[in-house]
Structure 1
Amino acid sequence: MALEEYERTTSSDGGNASLKLVWDSEKDNFLLDSLLPFLASQAGLEGELTSEKYEEILQKYSVVVESDDDDQKWTSRAKTWELLKILNFADAFQDIFQDEVVTDEDEPSAKRRNEESHIQLGSPLKKLKQSDTLPIRTFSHDLQLPTPLATMHAKSPVGNFQPEERVKLESLLQHILFPDTQTLQFDAVLQDLNNSYPTAPLNLNLPIDEHGNTPLHWLCSIANIRLIKDFIEHQSDRLLGDKSGECPLVKAVKSVNNYDSGTFEELLDYLYPCLILVDEMGRTVLHHIVITSGMPGCAAAAKYYLDILMGWIVKKQSREIDGELDAIISTLDLKWFISHILNARDVNGDTCLNIASRLGNVSIVEALLDYGADPQISNNSGLRPVDFGAGTAKSDMKSTQVPNVNSPSTAGPDSSVLINNIQSLLNTISQDYDMEIKQHNEQLAKLHSDLSAQRELLASSRDKLAKSRQLRDEYSQLTEQVANIRHAINEEDANFKKVSAVLGIDDETFDMAEFDADEPFRIDFIYEFLEKKLQTEYHGDLQQLLESKSLESLAAQLLEENSGKEEIIPPAILLRARICAYERNEENLNKTLNEVHERQADLEGRFRRVLSLCLKVDEDKVDGMLDGLLQAISTEDPEDVDTDEMQDFLKKHAV
């Protein structure tokens, strides 16, 4: 930020006055702080400069400020020069504001006299530009109006359109808002777009954001009058609202851009049909102007919009019409506007004056009262603007102007009755409020309880869902594995049958003792080599073969004698699988053999126990008696057993 300071002294009736201006050369703005004491004195505001007095100064002199990061207030060069002229410091700073001095000197005297007359009148016409002498151009493509003329809701946003239409409109906005050249014409851009998108029609009424705003809404918000005119000339619908039912004119008064650029009057020449529209809340453009006045830094802009709007309605009747005379132009006068718009109520029953009274904007309230707003209209809660002090001064003035000729003194209102009524109203409101709060708290507690229960149920359902998904995945995996195993078994069965057919093995040979289960897996030349060496050199002793010959030497001799047969050997992975299978089979056979030995030993022990009990001898002596017992009972005929000899044997060995 490049700052320059200029201090000048001027003489006045009260003596010399010194003023220091701080200029930001980058933004061409001037610091407002040094002007505020002089403006407060000029406005008759004494004492400490409070925030209320600060806002009143900004409204009175229509000052638009811009705050920096340090919360310092800056205003434009043109506004600073205007304030200097009001404070009689213009001569002292002529060297800094040379362009503004030249502009003032070149301005026609008739125009200055006209503006001075407006200021003296104190009417909304004082802020109208001389464009009110130009004719109002009318368009009828979007004016499907009720008869007789009455307020109506804005049209709903367009919802049925093709993606190509949206792309074409976005391309148009990109070209006209960010042109490559300064001389780009709207019709030329349309021609280029039609060449680029020949099949997609151009619809200027499509919403371009999630709130349902059309391009016309955004152009009114940024105060681009040239493009607004082009869009309306090309059939853009002025009566379309966004998802809240707000029309383009409402978007214009909700921002300060038209105030900064001074384009609101010209904007009304194109958007006057929006004056009869209400949004989903039943609010007119005056409602939104008043609501805007309650936003920080927007009070002066709202007052400007109000004065320009009312002045436009007054001056409209004397202006020429360029085009077909429509129902709005012919019907919309000050009387119609006061009865249908100025005192219109929204869904809460509030008029614009009711809202302004609650916001406490004195200048807006006084202006609305001057224009004919009724302070006695109550909202749905029974509150009237007069309850907030709006219009009371005028009512008191009227009452004092009509004296009571029948009595020498005028009796004032009974204040005790008024206080009792207000107290009763406040008590009723307080009781209703407490009851509503209690009901809402109970509903909130119940909702919290239901929410906790639903959260627990949701957590439990999520756990069950996770377990179900895990089981489903496991089931799918196992199903796939079983299918793969079955497929492998079928392949192996097919291969086994094929090999068995080649070897001449059928189902009958499976039960024959000479069937060799290893035969399908033998590698013939290796088997014959080992079998020949084992029989001829080691007499069938495999252990001797393994001890005398290493595997490497056997493999080398095998390959030397059977050169060229390496391709017959199956792949290594298949051989490893077979070795693993043989090792598992051997392990299972050893395990089965051990189990047989254990069962046989257990059975022998039980028989030994039986014999010891029958012979009445010790268990460890049974083995020595087995030969004699067998000899005693032995006979050629198993059924002809000599029981006498067996009894003599048992008596002889009886204990």
Structure 2
Amino acid sequence: MDSPQHIGDMTTSSIQNQLRGTHLSATCSTSISSAVYAGQKFIQLNLKVGENDAKTDAKNDAKDTINPTIVILRRVQDSFVNVSQLFAILVRLGHSTPDQVSSFLANEILSSSHYAGSIDGSVFYNDFRTHENPMLQGLWVSYDRAVALALRFDIYEFAKKLFLIDVHDYDRLPKQEKRSLADGDGVDVAAGSPKKRKASDAKPTSENSTNNSKNSAAGSVAAISISTNYPFAEPPLSLDDKNDDLVSSIKAKYGEVFNSDVAATTESIHNIFEPIMSRHQSHLLSVTDIPLDSNGKTALHFAATLAATNLVGAFVGLGLTSPIRGTSDGETPLVSAITVTNAMEKGNFSTLLKNWLYPCLWLVDNQRRSVLHHLASQASAKPDSTRAYTNQIIDYIVQTGGLRRFCEDIVPGQEDTHGNTSLHIAAETEARWLVQVLVELRADVNVANKQGIKPIDFDIVKDVVRGSSVEKGDYLIELIRSGLEVMDKNRELGIHDTDPQKPSQPANGHPPSQTPESASGKIFNSIQELLASTSQEYEAVIESKKQSVNELNKALRDSTIVTANNRFISRKVADNLAYLDNLKLQLNNINEKITTTKQEVPDANISDDDDADFDADEPFRIRSLYDKLGETDEIDEPSPEIIGELPSAAVLQARIKAYEDINSTMETELKALTDYSQLTAKFKKVVSHCTGVPIDEVDELLDGLLDTVEAQQ
């Protein structure tokens, strides 16, 4: 099965889908009978379930193989089914624990609104978990919901006979013989009371399982600290055909763990694998880290991808998987964790790294890519997760004293098959922050890859080296600088850094000359000096920053005032320009109109001179007759030439009519000007309104009003 990791971040469902189908199929034998319990009629299914690996185990120890019958009841009255007995199949197959079944029933039935209340008088479930008759104890649900649950958990085929039989055939079924609960082939304890079975089974094994878990955890951590294939991860496990049955059984258990809806614990996983581990102790080491897909991914790879700390801790602690085991590409579980965002979203990457995945920091894959290569390659696509994982990795390395080894072995010395360092890839992806981190870690900017390209050839690296694009005040940058200062100070004092994953040993086999007390004292003094100098530098930087901020504030205020003034002036200039453009447009329109008029009336003798006299009567004069009238008031009989110049009679009559109308209007206006009666009446109204005197008495008031006005002047 191929991993969907290339598509994007893996989710829990995709992991579960990958692991589905890896479990072994189970065999069963069933029988149907009628039964009566507590005075009620039931259809009883007797079910014997066994896994395929049980046959192999029976050959080794047939006496220890016990396979009691599971009893599942269906009530004839309303077809309700005992779902607690139904889920005993999952417990028998090892797919669920009694606690998981109880938790599911409590959450999905007792606390679910889907089963609460009633509709049309039909209740959804009966709680008979404390019934006095052990055969009836458990939760009872309606027929349709029982079928849905069986289909949901893939156990329908086991109880198929119980669901398909007609309750009206009750009398035709063979009667169930009464049996004592003490019989070995009696009712399954898990079906009757899961709590009792858990209590009886847990007492003798709980303490042993806890101790075994602690011992195996300590042993596995010690065993995985150093890889025999260093600096590469261990290759995928090659399986022998003789262990096929064991491998299938282990895969089945892994499928059970990953498909469980209840969070697994180290103890529960130990209980799941305990039967196999106890029976195949001699062969277990040869199948540790068995691959679960075609890419060689182990269960630890999938658990790390899911960021499931409970699974990772259990798998490593029980010795089932190793963090230094790689895939077919040589990728470690740490790479599986950092290529997705699950650990960042859950906030448990630091826990995964510190407790289980730290040995992967010093390993490379088959293309000689370190964890920094993988972080750099995804920096542009996943900047947030890359930054979060890088922060926590560097923080862990500084805290554990491995900064010198990381700077000397991983940062500058690891080149992939193309000769690219992590700084090459970070520069190509334009991950500015990661470039700065690598430069602070003293990555070599002048090392060339196989194409002759150096990191310093990239502009982004040049900017970081020059300090022109460096982030100020970044926690990780300050942590790296402080760590490197302590490292350099220790080197001057002859103090060797200790790496918990790679213990240092003297070259000559003798212990260092200085005592632990003197070394500790020097370290303490160097730290004190570093803190004192750092505090002084910090205060000086803060003071300079304050002054710079004050100067910037003053400059900002001045600039704001100037900007406001300039904005006002700009608006006034823009308004004046708009007004000027409008005047120009009007002037152009006037000039165009004048030009058009000249073209239409070429003989009108229109002058451009504003002071020129214009005679409006000129177009209507008959020049020959007008000149004679100017010379004398009387004229003789007009000559034919004069008569020929005259317009038509209609035109002359229209002109006479126009002159008469004009004269009439002028006479009316003249009369209005000479007649003051209307004006006097209006004046009287104004005086009456202003003085409050009746209009008839205004004439008597005028003389006194006139004398008063003249006296005031």
**TM-score of the aligned structures, taking structure 2 as reference length:** 0.32
- Normalized against structure 1, the TM-score is what? 0.35
